[in-house]
Structure 1
Amino acid sequence: MSNQAHVIKPRLPEPPPSVDQLLAAVRAAVEEIKAKDVVEIDVRGKTSVADHLVIASGTSTRHVKSIADEVVKFAKNLGAMPLGVEGEREAEWVLVDLGDVIVHVMLPRVREFYALERLWSVGDQKPGVDADEGDEAE
């Protein structure tokens, strides 16, 4: 009987996926699992933590977890290992950190409470332009 241990060494992809490739993988993953109200926010120049945030909603805790799992799966298919995944246990808000892209998957009530879109888009809108302006046409 052989006592040789099998050692698995994690490897970073050469070269690592670009931000555009990561965003495309995240878009495909959230579309595949039918996430709701997906929003991408460019946060370059606002924080050094990431370049882009993707925020999506799930219809239940199971859906939120499934969306986050799909994002991780699509990222791994690119050769990108998530730096961290937080909140899977409760699955009301799951954060998937892909480095330059951070994905927040939330239940609608949690998303409304924390209002990340408003927080990260302050100052992006031109003065006098209402974000809901186009919704009143009907």
Structure 2
Amino acid sequence: MDVDQLKDVIVDALEERKGRDIVTLDVRGMSGVTDYMVVCSGTSSRHVKSLADNVWIEAKKHGATPLGMEGQRSSDWILVDFGDVVAHVMLPEAREFYDLERLWQVPAQSDKHEN
């Protein structure tokens, strides 16, 4: 499975369990660690855990090998790592606080500063 197929499997797994505000961040060229980050919100700790578990299960069904899962104990932010694609499943409060979308966005081109 190529990286784009894996990204799609992860998004589908999140949609299947009613993940909210799913965003895919293309971080190729900005990160040497991964190509894509998929960020999603859950409505409760239990929902976050269910979303992350479904990502793990569905990706494995499609032949992907997960490298690990972090954060299951607190379940306010669970990271599911597949190497080329990393899923971040978060409670809205954690998502707002860490603001991964802003952190990983492409920097805007700056105009010449006038003094």
TM-score relative to the length of structure 1: 0.77
**Which of 19, 23, 26 lines up with 1:39 in the alignment?**
23
Question: Which residue does 1:105 correspond to in 2?
Answer: 89
Q: Specify which of 58, 80, 89 is matched with residue 42 of structure 2.
A: 58
114 and 78 in structure 1: CA distance in 2 versus 1, 3 angstrom threshold: same
**Mapping of 1:48-127 within 5 angstroms?**
48-123=32-107, 125=108
Higher relative contact order (CA 8 A, sep 6+): 2
Offset from partner CA, 1:73-110 (integer Å, 9 cap, x none) = 11101111210100011100000001100000000000
Aligned length: 111
Tell me by how many angstroms 1:118 deviates. 0.3
Counterpart-to-counterpart distance in 2, 1:24 and 1:97: 15
In structure 2, distance between residues paired with 1:25 and 1:78: 8
Structure 2: segments with no counterpart, 5+ residues? none
Residue type matched to 2:101 in 1? Answer: E
Rounded Cα–Cα distance in structure 2 between residues aligned with 1:92 and 1:42: 23
Aligned to 2:7: 23
From the CA coordinates, give the structure whose radius of gyration is larger: 1
For residue 39 of structure 2, give the secondary structure of its aligned residue in structure 1.
Answer: strand
Q: Structure 1 counterpart of 2:34, which letter?
A: A
Aligned Cα root-mean-square deviation (Å): 1.4
Q: Give the TM-score, by structure 2 length.
A: 0.92
Give unpaired runs (5+ residues) of structure 1.
Answer: 1-16, 129-138
4+ residue segments displaced more than 2 Å: 125-128
AA partner of residue 76 (structure 2): E
Identity of aligned residues (%): 55
